[in-house]
């Protein structure tokens, strides 16, 4: 985004807030809860799992609303009693300004005025403490802070995330619920096995094993891709069986890469992690998620020097328990020499060092907190 567009966005956001303030006279609906995931792109991540838990314990007493860029793709949610809106509609504006609780996993709409009596829950969308997410200086930093301001509660996956990301990087001083990420409940409890079976059937994998390559987003570029055939050969030699290599792009990136199958459009990354036998990524916090299931995960970081210089990390990448490769030869070597027992011990030490808060019950804990904010009691016997 150019400086001129940033300036225009900031001015427009401030002006829109002023114009919308008269709508603050509308009464807040104490039973209305609004969800957005990745700014209206998806039905996924932590908000999805909180929403599902909330449906279970609320007994139909809440008006649960989801807002999307393309609401026609998500009309299936209406069969579950969820209200689906376009996030560019007047109905969305009215809903956003009258909802008791607003739950998002990333930045919120900067043009919406914050109302007293509303409760803003930020689940965020990454665990552990890996790549830095400091606010940039200048106008871009101001624009991001506009989107972030007003949170009443953040969820946290670890004490390191609370301190390094929320307190130090975001400068957030409010309440933090250290219960883990709702999207990770599947991986923590072992329920991922049933989800894996369902996904494998959808993908028609049959007896093949699945390796998921899922690089993180980069400003102005794309990640280098490992040699697919060399990767397949190494996986087969070390773990046995035939392998399908899948690519999963970041939600903010564009362009596919060569692989057996492109799963970028698959609606839920967590389900893919359940189905994957191996994860290969670079600096994505999905590696934290995968580690909770104890499954092998490898780092493939061809641009480590430049990424460190431009972005850097909260914790030294050399201290992470995942085998680190900067070339195809290193990746092949790390796969062939992979030691399950040593890896399991390293993962346990890593979780302890970062102060993991993953509980396996984060969805339910968060849903109960929302119910409390809506002044409702949990319907007994639902969970």
CATH of the domain at 57: 3.40.50.11820
Confidence check: pLDDT of 10 > 90: no
Establish if 263 belongs to a structural domain: yes
Q: What is the pLDDT of residue 373?
A: 97
Q: Are both 85 and 212 inside the same structural domain?
A: no
- Four-point Cα dihedral 327, 329, 331, 332, nearest 10: 160
Q: What is the pLDDT of residue 107?
A: 77
71 part of a folded domain: yes
Domain co-membership, 109 together with 196 = no
Is the residue at 186 inside a domain? no
Helix (H, G, I), strand (E, B) or coil at 273: helix
Q: Are residues 171 and 211 in the same domain?
A: no
DSSP state of 49: H
9-18, 116-125, 193-202: the lowest-pLDDT one:
9-18
Q: Which of 23-27, 264-268, 329-333 has the highest mean pLDDT?
A: 329-333
| 330 or 19, greater pLDDT | 330
Percent of the chain with pLDDT over 90: 73
pLDDT at 60 over 50: yes
Residue 375, both tokens: 């002044």
In this structure, the answer to whether residues 160 and 200 fall within a common structural domain is no
Whether 315 and 367 map to the same domain: the answer is no
In-domain check, residue 369: yes
pLDDT in tens, 251-286: 555 555 678 999 998 989 999 999 999 999 999 999
| Mean pLDDT calculated for residue range 240-245 | 97
Measured distance CA(297)–CA(212) in Å, rounded? 10
Mean per-residue pLDDT, 165-176: 92
Tell me if 326 is assigned to some domain: yes
3-state helix/strand/coil string of 322-380: CCEECCHHHHHHHHHCCCHHHHHHHHHHHHHHHCECCCCCHHHHHHHHHHHHCCCCCCC
For residue 6, what pLDDT is reported? 46
- 381 in a domain, yes or no? no
Same domain, 349 and 289: yes
pTM recorded for the entire structure? 0.90
Select the more confidently predicted residue: 17 or 358: 358
Residue 329 has pLDDT above 70, yes or no: yes
Q: Which domain holds residue 348?
A: 191-354
Instruction: Report the alpha-carbon distance of residue 314 to residue 169 in Å, rounded.
Output: 10
More confident residue, 122 or 16: 122
The total number of structural domains in the chain stands at 2
Kindly report the CATH number assigned to the domain that includes residue 328.
Answer: 3.40.50.12580
- Portion of the chain with pLDDT greater than 70, in percent: 85
My answer on whether 138 and 223 are in the same domain is no
Q: Provide the pLDDT for residue 347.
A: 98
**Which pLDDT value is given to residue 267?**
87
In a shared domain, residues 156 and 303: no
CB atoms within 10 A of CB 104: 26
pLDDT tens-digit map of 182-232: 999 999 998 899 999 999 999 999 999 999 999 987 766 677 889 999 999
* pLDDT at site 144: 59
Q: Residue 140: exposed, middle, or buried by beta-carbon count in 10 A (0-12, 13-18, 19+)?
A: middle
Range 2-15 average pLDDT: 54
- Look at residue 75 and tell me whether its pLDDT is greater than 90: yes
Mean pLDDT of the chain, nearest integer: 89
Beta carbons of 140 and 6 less than 8 angstroms apart: yes
Residues 79 and 34 in one domain: yes
Domain assignment present for 4? no
Together in a domain, 160 and 299? no
pLDDT value at residue 383: 45
3-state secondary structure of 36: strand
Mean pLDDT of 170-185: 95
For residue 249, is it within any domain? yes
Is pLDDT above 50 for 310? yes
Token pair listed for 193:
């096995």
Do 45 and 93 share a structural domain? yes
Same domain (yes/no): 365, 334? no
């Amino acid at each position: 985004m150019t400086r001129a567009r940033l300036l225009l966005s900031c001015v427009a956001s401030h002006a829109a807030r002023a114009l919308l303030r008269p709508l603050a006279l509308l009464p807040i609906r104490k039973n209305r809860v609004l969800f957005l995931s990745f700014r209206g792109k998806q039905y996924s991540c932590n908000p999805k799992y909180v929403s599902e838990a909330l449906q279970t314990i609320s007994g139909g007493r809440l008006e649960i609303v989801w807002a999307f860029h393309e609401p026609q793709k998500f009309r299936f949610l209406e069969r579950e009693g969820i209200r689906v809106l376009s996030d560019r509609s007047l109905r969305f504006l009215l809903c956003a300004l009258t909802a008791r609780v607003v739950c998002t996993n990333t930045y919120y709409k900067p043009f919406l005025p914050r109302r007293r009596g509303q409760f803003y829950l930020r689940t965020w969308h990454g665990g552990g403490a890996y790549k830095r997410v400091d606010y940039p200086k200048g106008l871009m930093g101001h624009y991001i802070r506009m989107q972030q301001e007003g949170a009443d509660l953040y969820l946290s996956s670890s004490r390191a995330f609370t301190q390094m990301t929320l307190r130090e990087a975001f400068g957030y001083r409010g309440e933090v619920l250290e219960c883990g990420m709702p999207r990770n409940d599947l991986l923590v409890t072992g329920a991922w096995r049933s989800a894996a079976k369902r996904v494998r059937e959808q993908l028609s994998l049959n007896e093949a094993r699945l390796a998921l390559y899922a690089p993180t987003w980069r400003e102005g570029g794309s990640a280098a891709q490992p040699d697919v055939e060399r990767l397949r050969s190494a996986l087969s030699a070390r773990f046995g069986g035939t392998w399908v290599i899948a690519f999963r792009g970041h939600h903010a990136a564009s362009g596919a890469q060569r692989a057996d199958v492109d799963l970028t459009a698959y609606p839920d990354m967590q389900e893919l992690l359940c189905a994957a036998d191996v994860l290969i990524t670079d600096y994505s916090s999905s590696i934290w998620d995968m580690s909770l299931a104890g499954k092998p995960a490898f780092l493939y970081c061809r641009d480590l020097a430049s990424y460190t210089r431009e972005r850097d990390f909260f914790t030294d990448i050399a201290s992470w328990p995942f085998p680190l490769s900067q070339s195809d030869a290193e990746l092949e070597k790390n796969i062939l020499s992979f030691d399950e027992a040593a890896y399991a011990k390293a993962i346990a030490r890593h979780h302890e060092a970062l102060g993991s808060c993953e509980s396996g019950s984060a969805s339910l804990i968060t849903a109960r907190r929302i119910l409390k904010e809506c002044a409702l009691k949990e319907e007994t016997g639902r969970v």
